[in-house]
Amino acid sequence: MEKILQVKDLELSFNTFGGEVKAIRGVNFDLYKGETLAIVGESGSGKSVTTKSIMRLLPESSAEFKNGEILFGGRDLTKLSDKEMQKIRGKDISMIFQDPMTSLNPTMPIGRQITEPLLKHQKISKSEARKVAIDLLRLVGMPKPELRMKQYPHQFSGGQRQRIVIAISLACNPQILIADEPTTALDVTIQAQILELMKDLQKKIDTSIIFITHDLGVVANVADRVAVMYGGKIVEIGTVDEIFYNPQHPYTWGLLSSMPSLDTEDAKLYAIPGTPPDLLDPPKGDAFALRSEYAMKIDMEMDPPFFKITDTHMAATWLLHPDAPQVEPPVSVIERMKKFPGSRYYEGSAN
Amino acid sequence: MAEKLLEIKNLKQHFNVGKANEVKAVDGISFDIYKGETLGLVGESGCGKSTTGRSIIRLYDATDGEVLYEGENVHGKKSKKDLKKFNRKMQMIFQDPYASLNQRMKVMDIIAEGIDIHGLAKNSKEREQMVFSLLETVGLNKEHANRYPHEFSGGQRQRLGIARALAVDPDFIIADEPISALDVSIQAQVVNLLKDLQKEKGLTYLFIAHDLSMVKYISDRIAVMYFGRMVELAPAEDLYNNPMHPYTQSLLSAIPLPDPNYERNRVRKSYDPATHNYAEGEDVRMREITPGHFVDCSEREFEALKAGSLKV
């Protein structure tokens, strides 16, 4: 498959009064054409910072690239000037933000907001841009688009606003669409509609999507591949089935078992103890070790490298080292593994 | 079943009454809350679930209807003393742990505010001890008492909110989306804490949320609201296994589950209120279909549902 974006050894810090916050500590991933890569992790894990650094939306005064590169179309995005970046933003790579209330300009009719990227990036006339904008609104399922063009954001509901934001982000047929928690502010019923819409549109225009969320249910719904982030690093990456049915990293285990499924019995919910690490002073070794019941001595000393499970599945945990003891994952994770051919708990195809 | 702690009778909460922009946020809902149970209240934003919680605890004066707490009406004319008595029994935990704590007060004073108002501590030594033990109850420690809210993480702040609610030793706690603002790994910690406290102190909860899988996990019974009305009320298991109202069905079909195989085969139902086809003035109200399972329906639908449930 064609790689459209490569992030290599990315390290980024914020310089604050308190010192240097190492927000991203060596992130590697590739994005393939037409796929949806979900990045999951809790707040402060670096998932939003990673994507904002791809878009170069971080304040230059405090955010500093320490190492690594972001390769897109043969160019390293970390080295581009602001002017060059402006030509990419909104055209080749565009972004949908979490809050549709604040990402639209309240004083501008939505028609103008949709035509803005078209006029900026494409050589077309205003009337042509208007036509394209109306088509886009129709594409995202807005009734009576001609009338709606003149209306302001406050005249739309939350779900409709997110549809408008999606229309804007798709205006120039971007190669990459970054969606930063696009449905978190929406109700479940509206969320389901927006997710369906995004999947439909992806099929139509064949764009690659980076989808950031902390909701594992949403991940299971949209993703082809999943990257789990913790403490500024990717700790596990694999296809959606590999992550949900054959997870290897204790943090992924914790995340999966702390969500009640609809048939969780009355047993106590598994809670990951403690709080996320302080990236001002990241812990030595595996950042998750202090919260993990599976931590070994080496986890406190040395950062685990990536161990390959399959060609698509990697996890950074010492548990996968040949010398590591065999451990039992939590019960709910074993239940998941039973369904996955290739995991050591697989029970055959008993459907 | 256990005895009733709260009876809500035909509660109405309208805003801007008599004006053109009158909003009927809660439009005549009735339900009971039993002692020691957790009642989950779900629905999409704007359906009136938070307003219901706020009206029950009298943060709003109800437009109409009654809220009976152990047989006594919470609303209506009250002396300061009577009001205080209710406020001690009912407490609330709010959604946003950032906005619900006064940033300029130390944790000690935030938690002790209720203790002071109700005069529960004899002297400052006792007050301090009470705060310390409350902090420990919610999994923090006494060193935290001299800090300000901004020094805490979201999950810790929510624990402070819980400690403050517990300070006056209430029987009934309204938790208004207490975990929506928290990370997944922290949500489980707070939910487990709420469950433990309930066991220990015999608390009764009204748990308002839109995260349906968490609601199912924590609740004994669940009520579903839609546009200011309650459309279904049933034991948690029953509601999930056998949702009867079309809106509940559509809501359940929209929950994303952390299971890719399920997600690939999901069939989403949408709800259109017009499908009910109610005639003008038709008597639509909550009716009991099977024991404990109430659905908002007309006489005609009631018969159909009843027949349907008998087949099952």
Span of A10-19, A72-81, A280-289, B193-202 with lowest mean pLDDT: A280-289
Confidence label for B304 from pLDDT (cuts 50, 70 and 90): confident
Contacts of A255 in chain B (CB under 8 A): 184-185
Q: What is the pLDDT of residues B89-144, one digit of tens each?
A: 999 999 888 889 999 999 999 999 999 999 999 999 999 999 999 999 998 888 89
Cβ proximity of A188 and B43 under 8 Å: no
Q: Determine the residue of chain B that is closest to A291 in CA distance.
A: B185
The residue to which tokens 């449905």 are assigned: A183
Contacts of A268 in chain B (CB under 8 A): 192, 195
> Does pLDDT of A266 surpass 60?
no
Cβ proximity of A178 and A55 under 8 Å: yes
Mean pLDDT of A91-116: 91
Q: What is the pLDDT of residues A141-156, one digit of tens each?
A: 888 999 999 999 999 8
Q: Indicate if ipTM > 0.85.
A: no
Cα(B297)–Cα(B282) distance, integer angstroms? 10
Mean pLDDT of B19-43: 91
Cα(A204)–Cα(A34) distance, integer angstroms? 10
Q: Using CB atoms, pick whichever of A42, A218, A221 lies closest to residue B185.
A: A42
Task: Single out the residue of A11, A199, A209 nearest to residue A95, CA to CA.
Answer: A209
Q: Distances from the Cα of B65 to the Cαs of B23, B26, B56, B307, in angstroms?
A: 17, 11, 11, 33
Query: Do the chains contact at A261 and B213, CB–CB below 8 Å?
Result: yes
B309: closest CA of chain A, how far (Å): 22
Write down all domains in chain B, each with its CATH number in brackets.
Answer: 4-227 (3.40.50.300)
Task: Single out the residue of B27, B37, B93 nearest to residue B222, CA to CA.
Answer: B37
Mean pLDDT of B239-260: 90
Cα(B242)–Cα(B237) distance, integer angstroms? 8
Span of A131-140, B4-13, B211-220 with lowest mean pLDDT: B211-220
pLDDT for the residue numbered A267: 66
A206 vs B: CB within 8 A: no
Write down all domains in chain A, each with its CATH number in brackets.
Answer: 1-92+176-351 (3.40.50.300), 102-171 (no CATH)
What global pTM score does this model have?
A: 0.84
The residue to which tokens 């943060």 are assigned: B59
> Does pLDDT of A45 surpass 60?
yes
Q: How high is the mean pLDDT of chain A?
A: 89
Query: Do the chains contact at A189 and B255, CB–CB below 8 Å?
Result: no
* Crossing angle of the two packed helices A110-121 and A158-170, in degrees rounded to 10: 10
Query: Do the chains contact at B183 and A214, CB–CB below 8 Å?
Result: yes
A255 vs B: CB within 8 A: yes
The residue to which tokens 């934003």 are assigned: B45
Burial of B61 (0-12, 13-18, 19+ CB in 10 A): exposed
Cβ proximity of A27 and A6 under 8 Å: no
pLDDT for the residue numbered B312: 41
- At position A170, the amino acid (one-letter code) is L
In degrees rounded to 5, what are phi and psi of residue B56? -60, -40
Contacts of B254 in chain A (CB under 8 A): 188-189, 191-192
Task: Single out the residue of A1, A2, A78, A5 nearest to residue A227, CA to CA.
Answer: A5
